[in-house]
Structure 1
Amino acid sequence: MNELESDVWYIVRTKPKQEERAILNLENQGFGVFAPELTVKKVRRGVRTSVVERMFPGYVFVKPDDIIEQFYKLRSTYGVAGVLRFGDNIPKVPQRWIDQMRGVDQLTDEQAPQIGDTVEIQQGPFRGFLAKIVKLDGESRCFVMLEWMQKEVKANFSYKELQFQ
């Protein structure tokens, strides 16, 4: 890696549930801090909602002026558990990776079904049948309506058992 020392970021591990505290304290000390977040679509109690989550929970990217001089300052910051290391080696993250992550601000789960979608059943006795989603049941299951023996039948399937059209 031929990166200038000023174009390098390091990874800091935060204490459990103290990411915000660590970020605030690192910024107050003048460090460049980056904690990427994603907006993901989730189904909770049958309702699709947008939720903001950390891309790397428990970790924060930090850009110190000089890691050797500021290592102990980083390590002793409130909310920080330590600098990520592998033995004596402290991994470096190039600036271009951080720039790429800054461009990723929203992740939409294109595979997540919506009410009214048509799906094909992939497993079980109804394999190959087409069905219509009528209700979402949590994050991994849904109710579908399918036609079987000239009747409409309501069934509950895991998303893994369905192929979305």
Structure 2
Amino acid sequence: MSNATANTSKWYVIRSKPRQERRALANLENQEITTFLPEITITKLRRGKRTPITEALFPGYLFVQLDDYEGKFYKIRSTYGVTKMITFGDQPATIPDALIEELKQINETSDSIKKTMSEAILQPGDQVQINDGPFAGFIAKIIELDGDSRCIVLLDWLQKEVRASFDYNQLRKA
């Protein structure tokens, strides 16, 4: 891309159909339009296991870089997965290049964190060490997940196996 093109191109905000950000992204990229969809990886409880899920950082929105807004407006608006281009009155919503660059950096660090997260996610059957509270230092075994933030563990206390509930941030893999 030449410097003249880079200086005249701007980032615009696109509204996608519900949960179709990736479809809109693929269809816009097929039209050779520069696009960006910031994503984040979070852990959710799925079928009794905590799994990392990647979803849009801004659900329903993505960004396109255009140097010819008027020429591509109708082409983008009629793309599968796209609802509309965001405007303020008759002026399109633009995003500064610096903000897009920051979001891209966050997206890249999220990708590297995603790999380590999948290894660190606690699952039933894992041996864990309790970090704080009255049982700090005890080794326990996860027997059940209790929602998005807690789990049930089995620990040996006074020569008895005792069930207890702990927050995930109180535990680490042993």
Q: Distance in 1 between matches of 2:127 and 2:53?
A: 22
TM-score, with length taken from structure 1: 0.68
- Cα distance change, pair 142–37 in 1 and its aligned pair in 2 (3 A): same
Q: Counterparts of 1:9-158 in structure 2 under 5 Å?
A: 9-38=11-40, 40-87=42-89, 88=91, 90-94=93-97, 95-97=100-102, 99-101=104-106, 103-104=108-109, 105-108=111-114, 109=117, 112-113=121-122, 115-120=126-131, 127-130=133-136, 131=138, 132-137=140-145, 138-158=147-167
Cα offsets for 1:33-62 (capped at 9, x unmatched) = 222445555443333444443333322221
Q: CA deviation at 1:17?
A: 3.2
Structure 2: 5+ residue stretches without partners:
1-5
Which one has a larger percent helix, Structure 1 or Structure 2? Answer: 2
Cα offsets for 1:12-35 (capped at 9, x unmatched) = 110113334322332233311222
- Cα distance change, pair 21–89 in 1 and its aligned pair in 2 (3 A): closer
Select between 15-24 and 94-103 the one with higher mean Cα deviation: 94-103
- Percent of aligned positions that are identical: 42
How many residues align structurally? 155
Q: Does 1:164 align with 2:167?
A: no
**For 2:170, what is the secondary structure of its paired residue?**
strand
Structure 1: 5+ residue stretches without partners:
122-126
Q: CA RMSD in A?
A: 3.3
TM-score, with length taken from structure 2: 0.65
User: Which of structures 1 and 2 has the larger relative contact order (alpha carbons within 8 angstroms, sep 6+)?
Assistant: 1
- Cα distance change, pair 102–9 in 1 and its aligned pair in 2 (3 A): farther
Tell me which residue corresponds to 2:7.
Answer: 4
Moved over 6 A (4+): none
Q: Distance in 2 between matches of 1:102 and 1:5?
A: 25
